[in-house]
Structure 1
Amino acid sequence: MASVALVSVLGPDRVGLVAAIAEHLFDVGVNLRDTTFSALGSGAEFVALCELPAGLEAGDIEAGLSRLPDLAGAEIRAVPYAFDPSPGPAGTITHRITISGGDQLGLVARLAEVFKQYDSNIVRLEARKLGSAEGGLYVTRFAVFIPESQVNLCLATVSNTAGALGLDCEVEAGTL
């Protein structure tokens, strides 16, 4: 198997940021595996597991990305990835859950506890406060693995937790 590196870029958000990173990685022969990008306020974060071709090291990736003008002012890190890059069964997304409504202090912590209680794994998480033009809502999206034997109880508890806080809860089920 090819060596795998974790590549992380945190810096100012700008148009073309993902294109600059992805193009450089392609040009040096990197194959992207699990990859995420998020605009975070006026900043942005790109994180990817990268399969490196023979002879290319994580340090080479970091040095190359550091030379890109589009990444000026960004924190760039590339390190060997010490974990298995292939997700196990708990890395499969079985449900996508969206909670929306007013901002609730501790909401993510409460729902994370619910998932833990039902042996469910959070695979992806996104929480965002929308601007006033978008209604000023706080929207939290969980992509989770819920064991089949726990689905009904887990989803009922998530829904009840959201409802008790006056929040809306939408669930999309199926292996995604």
Structure 2
Amino acid sequence: MLPLRRPARESGACRTSRPSRARRHRHTEGPERRPTTFSRAQSTAVVAFRVMHVAVTAVGADRPGIVAAVSRVLYDVGGNIEDSRMAILGGHFAMVLIVALPDGADPENLQRALAEPAGALGLITTVRPVADAPPPHAGGTPYVVSVYGADKPGIVLQISEALAAAEVNICDLATHVVGDQEPVYVMILEVDVPPGAGPETIGSALKVIGSELGVDVAFNPMEADTL
């Protein structure tokens, strides 16, 4: 088995990248500059850049045009997609979006705007306000849990319970069944191990669970996930 190199990530597997600070202009000789002032209209324009965030979900039978239809509605109401995850699961298309709306926007208006394309495409959509919150375990270490073996009930449950008991946060989880004649269940989790937790202890506990379930479990740092 060859190691799969993943790009290094900053501490804290669930962190999102922070925008870099604006560069400071060098001081240059010249006439003294007066403080910048804004008119009422200009001040209103500046305030308009403040946003609220909503989570938008859409689920329905997979077909062309779903992303375009939802994106059109978001664009028309002044929304900006900041984070997203989309996948086809069991023949159904599912998307989760974090959307920035102009400050003061009504999420219910967005829900009503989505009703027409949702009805035409057979989608179930939801819109829910979300608050900006710091990620848990800031400063943790990113790890990857890989599970391979025969598909059976309880794999996700037992692995996730073991991680929860160790205060390990699951940041991303994907499962697949591959192969036709001898199908193999594959589960990959990206997790955040909090400071002070023992990776060796966590890895050993996962190995025991894997042995009981009859599956192979690997627990490796994010930088070198061994498949």
RMSD after superposition: 2.8
Matched, 1:116 2:164: yes
**Corresponding residue for residue 209 of structure 2:** 161
Structure 1-normalised TM-score?
Answer: 0.80
What's 2:177 paired with? Answer: 129
User: CA 1:30 to 1:13, structure 2 compared with 1: closer, same or farther past 3 Å?
Assistant: same
Secondary structure of 1:128's partner? Answer: strand
Higher relative contact order (CA 8 A, sep 6+): 2
Secondary structure at 2:164 match in 1: helix
Which protein is richer in helix relative to its size? Answer: 1
Q: CA deviation at 1:22?
A: 3.2
Matched, 1:46 2:104: no
CA distance in 1 between partners of 2:171 and 2:160 (Å): 11
Matched residue, 1:30: 79
- 1:5 is matched with 54
Structure 2: distance between partners of 1:5 and 1:59 = 11
Q: Tell me the distance in 2 between the aligned counterparts of 1:98 and 1:127.
A: 10
- Pair 1:16–1:138, CA change in 2 (3 A): farther
Consecutive unaligned residues of structure 2, counting only runs of 5 or more, are 1-49
- Whether contact under 8 Å (2:56, 2:127) holds in the other structure is yes
| 2:148–2:185 contact (8 Å) kept in structure 1 | yes
**Count of matched residue pairs:** 173
Aligned sequence identity (%): 25
How far residue 110 of structure 1 moved from its aligned partner, in angstroms, is 0.7
Query: Which shifted more, 157-166 or 3-12?
Result: 157-166
CA distance in 1, matches of 2:174, 2:222: 19
Using the size of structure 2 for normalisation, the TM-score is 0.64
Match of 1:174 in 2: 222
